[in-house]
Amino acid sequence: MATEPRPSEQNQAGFDWANLPLDISHLILDTLDWPAHAICRQVCHFWRNYLDQPRSAAKRYSSPTADARVVHKVRGGDGKVVTSYKAFEPPKQLGDYPKQIHRILAEPGLAFFLYRNPKTHLVEPEEHCFFAPESRTAYKFRATKNETDLRGYFPDTTVGRITKIMFNPEYDEVDSDSDREGIDEYIQQPIGPWCLKMKNIPFAYEPVILQSSGPLRFLPRFLSLEDPLIYVSVREYLHENINNLHKCPTVGELVFGIGKVISRYLQYKHDDFPDGAKVFVSFRGIKNVRYYPYGLLAIEISVEKTCEWVDGDTDDEEEDAG
């Protein structure tokens, strides 16, 4: 005679997260860090609706700022030495500052590769995107630092590094008899402590700005740029398609829109960008510009060649470097 399943087995077989008592669900969801929202919103309709409420959604936004920089040149007392210093000069009119920016773009690190497909000869994005924290090696300037390590929130991703061909610090072109003779002048060096390789951009369908009022004004700032004309193309795109619109773009619309602009520009650069060539496009943070009118937002972008992805856990290398 068949035995009936025990109550514990019945509960496990028919368990549904949506059936949790409301106070338990609220307790779980209120204690989540913002990156976990991307996964937990897929559990059930109740969790999605709760995490999309203004109080919960606000955890996914922040208001990073950067000062307006003004460089003054002063001639020294001897009439020959010219020194420079930075000061801040607020304009007469201040805007509706600051704006709440989605942290997937407010914190630097979201990136992707563009490459020219040898079969179609078209410039296309590769199938993966990347997210990395603040770099400690190649770049000295960072206006915004990451506050979140995303590795624990996206377990199905691959951990590795983005490397770039740069000058080898061990290269010695003078002492040709040294033990280092034969080391290439340029080698692949990491440009970040670690990086995540992801299939999709998290939070791609959420607005860049939380509850934005009035027109948006984005200004591109390139920290590294292979071709100055890319800046002109991106600036015109933002001016014509994003700025002064009353509808805030989503994270995906802004990222993919800028990516398409850069792709179209590189499409006609056959000599400088042949089949198989790649550029690494990374977003180094979006932030409010302090003292600028109309709530101006600066988008810091980097476009670099000779970059590659290297698989592998890099925790040991980080400890050695520290």
Query: Given pLDDT bands bounded at 50, 70 and 90, which one contains residue 280?
Result: very high
Give mean pLDDT, residues 118-135: 87
Query: Does any domain span residue 180?
Result: yes
Return the percentage of the chain with pLDDT > 90, whole number.
24
Confidence of residue 260 (pLDDT cuts 50, 70, 90): very high
**Range from 68-72, 148-152, 252-256 carrying the lowest mean pLDDT:** 68-72
Over range 142-146, report the average pLDDT: 50
How many domains does the structure of the chain reveal?
1
| pLDDT the model gives residue 176 | 53
Question: The tokens 């040294």 sit on which residue?
Answer: 178
Strands 110-116 and 123-131: antiparallel
| Residue 31 belongs to some domain of the structure | no
pLDDT (0 to 100) of residue 143? 43
d(CA 72, CA 88): 10
pLDDT at residue 192, as a whole number: 72
Q: Which domain holds residue 270?
A: 101-321
pLDDT: which is higher, 272 or 4: 272
Task: Determine how many CB atoms are found less than 10 A away from the CB of residue 300.
Answer: 21
> Which pLDDT does position 292 carry in this prediction?
64
Residue 8 binned pLDDT confidence (cut-offs 50, 70, 90): very low
Q: Above 90 in pLDDT, residue 116?
A: yes
* CA distances (Å), origin 49, targets 26, 29, 57, 64, 205: 12, 11, 10, 27, 15
Residue predicted with more confidence, 84 or 219: 219
Confidence of residue 21 (pLDDT cuts 50, 70, 90): confident
Of residues 88 and 204, the one with the higher pLDDT is 204
Which pLDDT does position 66 carry in this prediction? 67
Tell me the C-alpha distance between 115 and 227, whole Å.
Answer: 16
In a domain, 17, yes or no: no
> Is residue 126 within 8 Å of residue 115, measured between CB atoms?
yes
The answer as to whether 6 is a domain residue is: no
Residue 88 has pLDDT above 70, yes or no: no
The stretch 72-97 carries a mean pLDDT of 52
Residue 129 is predicted with a pLDDT of 92
Instruction: State the pLDDT at residue 253.
Output: 92
Higher pLDDT, 157 or 2: 157
- Does a structural domain hold residue 316? yes
pLDDT at 265: 94
Q: Predicted confidence band at 318 (pLDDT cuts at 50, 70, 90)?
A: very low
Which pLDDT score, from 0 to 100, does residue 231 have?
Answer: 92
What is the C-alpha separation between 53 and 49, in angstroms, rounded? 6
pLDDT at 26: 84
Q: Assess if residue 274 is contained within a domain.
A: yes
For 87-112, what is the mean pLDDT? Answer: 72
Q: Which of 193, 190, 217, 207 is nearest to 295 (CA)?
A: 217
Predicted local distance difference test score (pLDDT) of residue 183? 55
| Cβ atoms within 10 Å of 310's Cβ, excluding its own | 12
Mean per-residue pLDDT of the chain: 76
| 29 in a structural domain | no
Instruction: Report the predicted TM-score, pTM, of the whole model to 2 decimal places.
Output: 0.78
In a domain, 296, yes or no: yes
Mean pLDDT in residue range 139-164: 71
**Cβ neighbours of residue 224 under 8 Å, at least 6 residues apart?**
139, 302, 303, 304
Confidence of residue 140 (pLDDT cuts 50, 70, 90): very low
Task: Say what the pLDDT of residue 15 is.
Answer: 56
Band of the pLDDT at 74, cuts 50, 70, 90?
Answer: low
Overall average pLDDT of the 14-43 stretch: 80
* Residue 6, pLDDT score: 53
